[in-house]
C-alpha cells in the first residue's frame, strides 16, 4: 500500500472557476500543502486564465473580467506558477475540450459550436471549427506552462452528445455508435497534442469510458494516447467502482490515476466541507486500491479534487480556506494508509485547534471567534458563524409563533396582536444586528484573499437576502405596533 500512496503523485486540484484566491493566499497555501505531503497541483484555470488574441474574451484579460475585478493578469499567472515551482510542486494544467465548455460556449462568437443550440455545455465534435478552437486553447495553455510533463484535457460529463444532425448521423452510421463519436474526437485531440508536443502525456477523466466495451477502447489504442483519472467522491457507504471496471482498465491502460474529493462533492451549495464524509472517501479509495492494486500495472497518483462550483453557472460551494482542515485530514489519511484519532489530533494541533475541539468547527454556537493558525482561518470561522446564524434565522422565520401571530395574511390585513409582536421584534432586531456584525467581519477577512467579484457574489447570495428579509420583518413589526390591535376588516388605512 505504501508503494501506492507514498510512491505516487499527490496532486491538489485548484478549481479556479469559482472564488479564485489572490496570489498572496497561494503564497501561504502552497508551502502548507507541500508540508502536508502534496507533490503537485492540478490547475483548472477555466475562465481565469489570461488567454490572449482570439481567445481573449474567454479569460481573465477580457473586458468583463477586468470590469468586475476578476483575475488574473499574465504576470500574476506567471507568479502563481513560480510560487508552485518554488515549493517544488509539479503543475498539471487542466483544460476542458468537450463538455463543461460553458466558459467558452456562453460567448456569442462560439455559440455556433454548441451541440444543442440552447445549451452552452457541450461542443459539437462534427463542426470543423471545434478542433481549431480546441487547438488554440491547448496551444496557449501548453505554451504558458513551460516544461510540463502532463496535461489534463477533462472530457468528462459530456451530457449532450450525438444530438445535432451531423453527430446523430455519425452515431447511426458509425461502427461504434455513440462511444465512437466520443472516442473519434478525444483521440483526435490527443493525436494533435502528441504530434505537436511529443513529450507531453495526457490525462482524461474516466467517466465517459466506464460504459464503453473493452474491445472498443482497445480498437482506438486509447491506452497509448491517454491515462485515465478515475474519479469517485462518495463516502465508504456508497463508494462503488467494482472489479469489472479495474479488469477493463487493466486490459486497456498501463498508467492510471485516481481522483478523490476534499470539498465540493456533498452539495452544490455546501458552505463548509463535511470532514467526515471526505475522510471516508479517502478510506474507501485506500480500500478499493488495496483490493484491486494487483490489476494495476502503474498507479501514477491521486488528485485531491476541490470543486468550487458544480458547473460554470452554479453557485459557489466551499471556499478554499474553509477546506484546509478537510484537505489536511484527507492528505494525512491517504499518506497514513487510514484514519485514526491520533492522526486527527495531530492535524488539529497543526491547524491551531485545542484539544477540546474533537470535530473541527462543528460546535461553534455564538460569535466567539477562536484563534487558529491555518491560512484563511478567519474566513472559515466567519462562514461557520454564518451557517449557525442562518440556522437561527430559519428557525425563527419558520417558528410556530411567526406562522401563528405574524404571517403574511395577518400583516397585510393589519390584524396582529401587539403582545406577540412585542416579543418578535427584539428577536428579529438582535438577529439583524448580529448579521450586520458578521457582514463586516466577513468582508474584512474576505478582502485580503478574494477578488471583489467573489465577495459580491458571496454577499449577494448568502447575506443580502436574509438581511433584506429581516429588515422587512422589523419594519412590519414596528408598523404593526404603531397601529395597535385592530378589529378584523380595518385593513385599508392611511399608514
Ligand atoms: Zn454535433
Residue 291: asked if its preceding bond is cis (omega within 30°), the reply is no
What backbone torsions phi and psi does residue 227 show, to the nearest 5 degrees?
Answer: -115, 125
CA of 363 to the centre of ligand 1 (A): 52
488 — pLDDT class (breaks 50, 70, 90): confident
Per DSSP, the three-state class of 190 is helix
Q: Which stretches within 268-358 are classed as H helix? A: 275-292, 324-336, 341-351
What's the pLDDT at 362?
A: 47
CA of 128 to the centre of ligand 1 (A): 10
CA of 35 to the centre of ligand 1 (A): 46
Q: Give pLDDT tens digits for 32-52.
A: 999 999 999 999 999 999 999
Per DSSP, the three-state class of 237 is helix
Cα separations (Å) of 288 from 243, 250, 295? 9, 15, 11
CA of 111 to the centre of ligand 1 (A): 13
What's the pLDDT at 369?
A: 56
Query: How far is residue 270's CA from residue 261's CA, in Å, rounded to a whole number?
Result: 14
Within 10 angstroms of residue 340's Cβ, the number of other Cβ atoms is 9
Nearest to 252 by CA among 208, 294, 200, 216: 216
Q: What is the DSSP letter of 199?
A: T
What's the pLDDT at 297?
A: 76
CA of 27 to the centre of ligand 1 (A): 43
CA of 156 to the centre of ligand 1 (A): 17
Sign of CA dihedral 428, 433, 436, 438: negative
Residue whose cell numbers read 491506452: 223
Q: Give pLDDT tens digits for 316-347.
A: 999 999 999 999 999 999 999 999 999 999 99
Residues 247-279 as b/e (b if ≥16 CB within 10 A, e otherwise) read ebbbebbebbbbbbbbbbbbeeebbbbbbebbb
Mark residue 19 as left, alpha or beta (left: phi above 0; alpha: psi -120 to 50; beta: remaining): left
Residues 337/286, Cβ–Cβ less than 8 Å? yes
HSE value, Cβ hemisphere, 13 Å, CA-based, for 327: 31
Q: Give pLDDT tens digits for 194-226.
A: 999 999 999 999 999 999 999 999 999 999 999
Within 10 angstroms of residue 58's Cβ, the number of other Cβ atoms is 25
Residues 11/38, Cβ–Cβ less than 8 Å? yes
Which of 27, 76, 157, 457 is labelled catalytic?
157
What's the pLDDT at 365?
A: 46
CA of 116 to the centre of ligand 1 (A): 8
Q: Give pLDDT tens digits for 415-468.
A: 999 999 999 999 999 999 999 999 999 999 999 999 999 999 999 999 999 999
CA of 162 to the centre of ligand 1 (A): 6
Residue-by-residue DSSP string for 344-403: HHHHHHHHT--TT-SSTTS---SS------STTHHHHHHHHHHHHHHHHHHHHHTSHHHH
Query: How far is residue 100's CA from residue 110's CA, in Å, rounded to a whole number?
Result: 14
Query: How far is residue 209's CA from residue 184's CA, in Å, rounded to a whole number?
Result: 13
What's the pLDDT at 357?
A: 55
Q: Give pLDDT tens digits for 132-163.
A: 999 999 999 999 999 999 999 999 999 999 99
CA of 126 to the centre of ligand 1 (A): 5
CA of 203 to the centre of ligand 1 (A): 24
CA of 233 to the centre of ligand 1 (A): 30
Q: Which fold has domain 2-351?
A: TIM Barrel (3.20.20)
Query: How far is residue 254's CA from residue 296's CA, in Å, rounded to a whole number?
Result: 7
What backbone torsions phi and psi does residue 228 show, to the nearest 5 degrees?
Answer: -80, 145
Query: For this structure, is 46 an active site residue?
Result: no
Nearest to 379 by CA among 310, 313, 325: 325
Query: How far is residue 308's CA from residue 268's CA, in Å, rounded to a whole number?
Result: 9
What's the pLDDT at 231?
A: 98
CA of 92 to the centre of ligand 1 (A): 29
Q: Give pLDDT tens digits for 292-322.
A: 977 877 999 999 999 999 999 999 999 999 9
The number of angstroms, rounded, from the C-alpha of 413 to the middle of its chain's C-alpha atoms is 46
C-alpha cell at 285: 479509495
Judge if pTM exceeds 0.85: yes
| Weakest mean pLDDT among 133-137, 247-251, 364-368, 385-389 | 364-368
Residue whose cell numbers read 515551482: 85
Residue whose cell numbers read 508503494: 3
Query: How far is residue 488's CA from residue 415's CA, in Å, rounded to a whole number?
Result: 6
Amino acid at each position: 500500500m505504501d508503494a501506492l500512496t507514498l510512491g505516487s503523485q499527490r496532486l491538489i486540484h485548484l478549481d479556479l472557476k469559482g472564488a479564485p484566491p489572490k496570489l498572496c493566499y497561494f503564497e501561504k497555501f502552497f508551502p502548507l500543502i507541500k508540508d502536508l505531503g502534496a507533490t503537485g497541483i492540478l490547475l483548472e484555470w477555466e475562465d481565469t486564465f489570461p488567454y490572449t488574441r482570439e481567445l481573449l474574451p474567454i479569460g481573465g484579460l477580457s473586458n468583463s473580467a477586468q470590469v468586475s475585478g476578476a483575475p488574473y493578469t499574465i504576470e500574476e499567472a506567471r507568479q502563481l506558477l513560480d510560487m508552485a515551482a518554488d515549493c517544488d510542486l509539479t503543475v498539471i494544467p487542466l483544460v476542458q475540450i468537450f463538455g463543461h465548455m460553458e466558459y467558452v460556449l456562453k460567448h456569442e462568437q462560439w455559440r455556433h459550436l454548441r451541440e444543442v443550440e440552447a445549451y452552452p455545455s457541450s461542443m459539437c465534435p462534427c463542426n470543423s471549427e471545434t478542433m481549431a478552437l480546441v487547438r488554440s486553447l491547448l496551444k496557449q495553455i501548453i505554451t504558458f506552462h513551460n516544461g510540463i510533463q502532463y496535461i489534463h484535457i477533462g472530457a468528462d460529463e459530456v451530457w449532450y452528445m450525438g444530438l445535432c444532425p451531423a453527430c446523430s448521423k455519425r452515431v447511426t452510421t458509425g461502427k461504434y455508435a455513440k462511444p465512437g463519436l466520443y472516442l473519434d474526437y478525444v483521440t483526435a485531440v490527443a493525436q494533435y497534442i502528441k504530434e505537436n508536443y511529443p513529450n507531453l502525456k495526457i490525462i482524461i477523466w474516466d467517466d465517459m469510458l466506464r460504459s464503453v466495451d473493452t474491445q472498443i477502447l482497445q480498437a482506438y489504442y486509447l491506452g497509448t494516447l491517454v491515462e485515465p483519472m478515475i474519479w469517485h467522491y462518495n463516502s465508504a457507504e456508497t463508494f462503488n467502482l467494482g472489479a469489472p471496471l479495474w479488469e477493463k482498465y487493466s486490459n486497456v491502460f498501463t498508467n492510471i490515476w485516481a481522483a478523490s474529493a476534499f470539498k465540493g462533492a456533498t452539495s452544490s451549495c455546501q458552505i463548509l466541507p463535511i470532514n467526515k464524509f471526505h475522510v471516508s472517501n479517502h478510506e474507501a479509495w485506500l480500500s478499493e486500491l488495496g483490493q484491486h492494486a494487483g490489476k494495476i500495472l502503474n498507479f501514477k497518483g491521486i488528485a485531491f479534487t476541490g470543486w468550487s462550483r458544480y458547473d460554470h453557472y452554479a453557485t459557489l460551494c466551499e471556499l478554499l480556506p474553509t477546506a484546509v482542515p478537510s484537505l489536511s485530514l484527507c492528505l494525512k489519511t491517504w499518506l497514513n494508509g487510514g484514519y485514526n484519532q491520533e492522526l486527527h489530533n495531530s492535524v488539529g494541533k497543526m491547524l491551531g485547534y485545542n484539544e477540546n475541539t474533537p470535530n473541527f468547527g462543528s460546535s461553534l454556537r455564538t460569535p466567539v471567534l477562536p484563534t487558529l493558525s491555518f491560512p484563511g482561518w478567519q474566513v472559515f470561522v466567519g462562514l461557520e458563524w454564518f451557517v449557525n446564524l442562518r440556522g437561527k434565522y430559519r428557525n425563527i422565520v419558520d417558528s410556530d409563533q411567526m406562522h401563528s401571530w405574524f404571517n403574511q395574511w395577518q400583516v397585510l390585513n393589519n390584524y396582529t396582536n401587539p403582545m406577540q409582536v412585542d416579543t418578535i421584534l427584539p428577536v428579529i432586531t438582535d438577529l439583524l444586528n448580529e448579521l450586520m456584525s458578521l457582514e463586516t467581519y466577513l468582508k474584512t477577512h474576505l478582502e485580503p484573499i478574494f477578488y471583489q467579484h467573489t465577495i459580491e457574489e458571496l454577499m449577494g447570495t448568502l447575506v443580502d437576502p436574509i438581511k433584506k428579509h429581516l429588515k422587512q420583518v422589523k419594519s412590519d413589526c414596528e408598523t404593526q405596533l404603531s397601529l395597535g390591535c385592530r378589529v378584523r376588516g380595518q385593513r385599508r388605512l392611511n399608514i
